Structure 1
């Protein structure tokens, strides 16, 4: 105990002397010069990387995720915040209309969105990458400061910071922003913990949650790692209790202050949770996965030097248990599985541990430089065995070259140590020169540049494309009727979260939290094609049944992609606004109903015709007659009537065909002349024989079965297409991806489109918006000639309340996924309102926590002043 107290006293003296200026002036000047030089190099490399990887004419962002989700959703959130004068919109009108906290992950209360509201003239496509880059540069510099605070030499701190900069988590600043935008605040929390400034640590933790609450558990685990170490080093129980109280109080208050975000978001996730993730197996948990630690941008993204130093740490008593825990946590799936709240065992959740790994790596590396630990070459034999077993893998040559450079560095360092002493000092305790280690940066640099070189960067819009776009005012004037929706058919994935104008009602969305009932209606009942690897992206496509039921009166498209039944009402170059006045409105009354019991007993195709003719309600008094679709025969795919490209080989098998496609191929199936002017429902099942995805388009409508490695598999084994064009369809043109797969149960039906016109409805009449309540989603007048149902195409969800003539009325689910209610005959005023579950209590908890935080902070300051006196 006495020795530990002396050690603590010496450590405090060294740290205080480092910053208080008690060292010799020359040494202090040298360290200041080193700080300036190393900081300058870090900043220079940072901007050099951006210049090397960013192509000319592109945003600093990927077409994957960055643009599809993060930036477009951020722009939509900003616009809604500004119009509604709030930082957390309760209701978002994308995806048919949803709880705003389903999109909280993409920017609610986030500083860059708030900054965007203050600078509305700056597009989020510029503001978000600028904020992300500034945040990451700040994290790199804070990383260096924290390493110095933890006792690293100037070069050791620089080395660790450079590895941090070159780690592939930097890659996510232009893809999955929330994987890394919290990192500067995590490092600030570690710095404040080290300095025991717990109030500031609490603020830093709150900012972590606001930037990326998904990583909150992992960040708190990192804080807990170092807090446990501080508790172990405390000399007496009084100090331990005080430290524990301050740390726990800081964490609790940080969570409380963020509860305005966390509680309503948790309620939304709990309501709309889905099982779209890839199932975690026992193999995922017990077999080592080096990609969690090495190279992968969806892990820590470090290089072989870090793995080597952790293995070397197992031989050093001082760092043995820390190295063992870091190796076990990063190489095996148990830790990621727990940190991901048992959703899956993916390594992306380990990004907050990058500073921890680098800290201990630098501590071990510093011992090597001081001669206290020697290079162990048996570790390279272990590497050689692992590398040999990975022959043919994508990263084989990279890890081989990386290991080779590290081996050369170890041999050179060992040889130089034997020949000379450094600066005239004995080998033990004196740090060697830095030049011999500089080429250890080569592989991290090359790996990062090579990875970014394969990125699909989002290009800036051309002036010609901008000239052909409609202005917001033009769109608002034509498509602004809130009783109908307006969707965009071009760039469906990029535009699914975008608002062309404020107030635009859309059916599309792409969020990690999706209303499962609406999702099932979207894909399973109306047969919208699944176009990407997951089912959470609800993308627009031409589908007459879906368009009719979801009030898609207006579409923004090009003149060559206008759906059947739509006519051009405005045109700018190739871009057009097309209208179909015959679709159902968002709200109406009807007595043409079918009970959900009868509906569930129907077959797949009968459900589609039932939706065309009737409204599905919880309780319909009488059974109704439901017609089925007429099936038509198509020629066999291996017959002479069907034209296949040369790279497509079709072989008949039981109930289908085996397809072998080299490169991309096409199949053209002729249609009987009687079928060329109708709406067709075409479907088949797919059985994939490879690990690659299967993509098949029919007349321009794309379906995809995700590959085996997809983290969120769409399980789309049945490809469905609703085919109807403005002109006559003479063929079904299939475009097939490369691969080997079976197509079975091929069937084609004539969809009875006349049923859509037979449904008897009475459209609602919107009430002037100045008469809406603050939380109104829809307010309208309706007239029921008899006891009827009020029906909407607004997805049913917790928090919706329906008021009929000012009195709250029981709300029911209609058409399997939407809000509706029974109405008595007569004229009524309907007010559909929404309050996010948990928002009120979250705000109360945050307000209370802020007050307690202020009291705690003031009390701490007064206590320190009294103790100082």
Structure 2
């Protein structure tokens, strides 16, 4: 008996050793890819959204917590001129992974995000491995093989350095799948509930697809157990009908969602008021139900499932050749969400058709692949039938290629033929490596190429973006000023738009997928501010003195120059901070008003100037507005090709082109407004820079076109300068109209301040803004805070109604006299969210009461065994012999 026990014990150790060795090899592979793509010159983060969103917004959340002590802030005045804090919740607000960084204040957030993302990938692989291993009759070779395919899946490693929020929920998704197994096998619900909660807290967007994937798996498990009656009757609730399991799973999922309501509900309110389909493309109802398969969303791409052809072959073989209804059900569900656009449309929250919503289905499609490989190794498939299925897939691809021209079909065909040939060879040779090794090599190739295609942040650029001298210069200027003001960093603002340089740093710019619509529309469409990005959801700080003055930007940080009217006040390193005494207050009243209809009839440049003098209200009022702009006729003499319809054609595919144009005025004293129209989308982005101010139009195939066809540049300078430097960066080919140029003296702009009365003693704390104002007559009052329904406005302690002013801002009427103004913001649905989460906690404790009791008993028994072992070790009197306890004495 003891000999048998020792054999079992040694086997257990042997299996554990194999697990350790295998997972160590997979870890080495993943770290190897990381080192290959970063080398010694790059950091582990993309130069696109990772740099400007995913690594900086979590830093703002952490810093806000340190400054306020509030775990659930409701308002964010530091970004986007003041917005609902839940507009930014997508980027890790209350994400359990990000919350860990709150205990590491001295660790730079960019470094933390890089390391934690790699750790998340490794944890995902480890959890997937043991989850797959737990399935019935899953042999070791299959587990090793499929786990490696999971590690190579397109989105997993790629988005750990690109769009972090696309993958950092995956460990919780996998734990939820493990939780489904525990629900069936042991009637334990704690893991499932907490995993679903953490998944929603980590990424509420992908959690929708995740909960669908988990639900499909839960239904599959029921059918699987029903097909195996012996296992089914051994379940804690054996012989129970389907609805019994459905209710227990549904209740667990529902409680998990309730627990995360404190994030979900206010985020949902923010999305409904500040997010829409931004791809600029209409979706026809018929298109939603026309299958498109195979497609980009399944194969190779990191913006989908990112698997190789063996997964496609597995789906087809199980669907056609398998006799198990449970596995067929799994295949049908995967095919529906991936092949029919309506599936992706639903999973993306009715916003657009995007394959990224399929990422949570990666574990399921690889589970199907595991079933196929397991049965293949068990010799359940005949070579002839596999050949017929492969031929059928090739016919399907040929039909799809005829209907839709797509280069990916070539890759799928080559991949599929190679895979089938080696599977056929395996059927003859009977050696696993014959088909596993080539498939793994294909997966490795796709994994490396996909990850290497991302443009990472160069270390030298990162040093510039996170320049300590910039922080120092800004801190010197801001800490010496006790008034309220806004500040902008106009150096590399495209990448540093969301960076907050301290508690007193308040910016008018931001970049978020959820936004305040009136403010965004004002910047991008009413005023047509310069947009250097290729999306229309970014408000980028630029060298625009008109907008800076209106928004109260008193300080500007720059490594070059600042707009007219700004003077350098301090410097650290090569960063200077400039100050203007003409910047407006956060709120002001004006004797002059303009009707909304008249305002909308003005050109963008006229609107920008009008806002400095008038308050725009949706009412029948008269204004004395007359244009202050003067048209300028310049002989630009651009040596560019002209088209028959008068447009310039610029082609910089081989190299950038630059032109310097001398102007009669000094940009220190005179503001130039330069406009042109872009004829249409080019194959690549269309970009023009004038004196460092950049405008870009998205390329033809951009996922989120910015529709920036009208370029406007507001050019001025804090230094003596009478040159317009016009630059067309490399890689562009487009047509644009003749430049239209206007000018206005800076003194005329600064004099407009005399027409308004500023709010004074402005203070901001948490979600409350206060200030004073004294008026000599009844007036309209406006803030430069974006209009939002979450505010409560108090004047002299009395709550009053407010409305939208300037077609974007929050404003109200004021009578003559001195007034104390207080604005209080509460995020919509925040209270409901807190109470709902509290209800979820109560239900969780009730629903899982038995689980907690069993868990407590297990803990007590564990310590009892430990105590007994310790006592036995001291006495030396107890030995085991023939499974009985005997004394030596």
User: Which category describes the TM-score, using the shorter chain as reference length?
Assistant: 0.7 to 0.9
What whole-Å deviation, never above 9, does each CA across 1:241-263 have from its counterpart, x for those lacking one?
A: 33122111111111111010001
Report the Cα distance in structure 2 between the residues aligned to 1:443 and 1:243, rounded to whole angstroms: 40
Who is 1:10 aligned against?
none
What whole-Å deviation, never above 9, does each CA across 1:12-34 have from its counterpart, x for those lacking one?
A: xxxxxxxx999977865664454
**1:119-518 superposed matches below 5 A:** 119-151=104-136, 152-169=138-155, 170-196=157-183, 197-232=188-223, 233-234=225-226, 238-279=240-281, 281-282=283-284, 286=290, 287-288=292-293, 290-317=295-322, 318=324, 319-375=327-383, 376-381=386-391, 386=397, 399=412, 402-403=415-416, 405-417=418-430, 433-434=432-433, 437-460=436-459, 466=467, 468-471=469-472, 474-475=475-476, 477-478=478-479, 481=482, 483-518=484-519
Report the Cα distance in structure 2 between the residues aligned to 1:82 and 1:202, rounded to whole angstroms: 30
Q: What is the root-mean-square deviation in Å for CA atoms of aligned residues?
A: 3.0
**1:688-703 superposed matches below 5 A:** 688=680, 690-703=682-695
CA contact (8 A) 1:472 1:501 kept: no
Say which of 708, 714, 721 aligns to 1:728: 721
What whole-Å deviation, never above 9, does each CA across 1:749-779 have from its counterpart, x for those lacking one?
A: 224541442342222222667xx6x631x21
Report the Cα distance in structure 2 between the residues aligned to 1:506 and 1:863, rounded to whole angstroms: 53
What whole-Å deviation, never above 9, does each CA across 1:803-850 have from its counterpart, x for those lacking one?
A: 111111222222221122211111111111111111111101101110
Who is 1:3 aligned against?
none
Cα gap change, 1:550 to 1:459, in 2 (>3 Å) = same
Who is 1:38 aligned against?
22
Distance apart, 1:474 and its partner CA:
3.3
Bigger mean CA offset, 587-596 vs 166-175: 587-596
Who is 2:802 aligned against?
811
SS at match of 1:577: strand
Q: Give 5+ residue unaligned stretches, structure 1.
A: 1-19, 418-431, 636-640
Cα gap change, 1:466 to 1:607, in 2 (>3 Å) = closer
CA contact (8 A) 1:586 1:792 kept: yes
Say which of 772, 779, 785 aligns to 1:794: 785
**How many residues are paired up?**
819
Who is 1:61 aligned against?
45
Who is 1:666 aligned against?
657
2:531 pairs with 1:530 = yes
CA contact (8 A) 1:530 1:703 kept: yes
Report the Cα distance in structure 1 between the residues aligned to 2:263 and 2:532, rounded to whole angstroms: 32
Bigger mean CA offset, 149-158 vs 587-596: 587-596
CA contact (8 A) 1:89 1:100 kept: yes
What whole-Å deviation, never above 9, does each CA across 1:261-294 have from its counterpart, x for those lacking one?
A: 0011111111112342242545576333522111
CA contact (8 A) 1:550 1:793 kept: yes
Report the Cα distance in structure 1 between the residues aligned to 2:463 and 2:274, rounded to whole angstroms: 41
Cα gap change, 1:104 to 1:371, in 2 (>3 Å) = same
Distance apart, 1:526 and its partner CA:
3.1
TM-score by length of 1: 0.88
Distance apart, 1:333 and its partner CA:
2.2
Report the Cα distance in structure 1 between the residues aligned to 2:578 and 2:55, rounded to whole angstroms: 27
CA contact (8 A) 1:168 1:300 kept: yes
Report the Cα distance in structure 1 between the residues aligned to 2:814 and 2:126, rounded to whole angstroms: 64
Distance apart, 1:859 and its partner CA:
4.5
Cα gap change, 1:795 to 1:443, in 2 (>3 Å) = same
Report the Cα distance in structure 1 between the residues aligned to 2:435 and 2:595, rounded to whole angstroms: 78
Who is 1:424 aligned against?
none
CA contact (8 A) 1:526 1:545 kept: no
Bigger mean CA offset, 607-616 vs 208-217: 607-616
Say which of 54, 66, 75 aligns to 1:70: 54
CA contact (8 A) 1:74 1:124 kept: yes
CA contact (8 A) 1:94 1:508 kept: yes
Report the Cα distance in structure 2 between the residues aligned to 1:409 and 1:479, rounded to whole angstroms: 72
Report the Cα distance in structure 2 between the residues aligned to 1:863 and 1:500, rounded to whole angstroms: 50
CA contact (8 A) 1:682 1:748 kept: yes
2:711 pairs with 1:719 = yes
Distance apart, 1:328 and its partner CA:
4.0
CA contact (8 A) 1:593 1:620 kept: no
Bigger mean CA offset, 510-519 vs 702-711: 702-711
Who is 2:828 aligned against?
837
Who is 1:749 aligned against?
742
Report the Cα distance in structure 2 between the residues aligned to 1:23 and 1:324, rounded to whole angstroms: 44
SS at match of 1:780: strand
Distance apart, 1:663 and its partner CA:
2.5
CA contact (8 A) 2:474 2:557 kept: no
Q: Give 5+ residue unaligned stretches, structure 2.
A: 227-231, 233-237, 858-889
Who is 2:87 aligned against?
102
Who is 1:763 aligned against?
758
SS at match of 1:533: coil
CA contact (8 A) 1:787 1:825 kept: yes
**1:517-596 superposed matches below 5 A:** 517-558=518-559, 560-596=560-596
Report the Cα distance in structure 2 between the residues aligned to 1:512 and 1:414, rounded to whole angstroms: 51
Distance apart, 1:445 and its partner CA:
1.0
Report the Cα distance in structure 2 between the residues aligned to 1:482 and 1:300, rounded to whole angstroms: 52
What whole-Å deviation, never above 9, does each CA across 1:90-131 have from its counterpart, x for those lacking one?
A: 111211011101011112211233222211111111212222
Report the Cα distance in structure 2 between the residues aligned to 1:181 and 1:480, rounded to whole angstroms: 41
CA contact (8 A) 1:39 1:141 kept: yes
CA contact (8 A) 1:688 1:742 kept: yes
SS at match of 1:277: coil
Cα gap change, 1:37 to 1:790, in 2 (>3 Å) = same
What whole-Å deviation, never above 9, does each CA across 1:296-340 have from its counterpart, x for those lacking one?
A: 111111112212222222331334453344234324422111111
Cα gap change, 1:768 to 1:215, in 2 (>3 Å) = closer
CA contact (8 A) 1:678 1:751 kept: yes
Distance apart, 1:669 and its partner CA:
6.8
Distance apart, 1:351 and its partner CA:
0.6
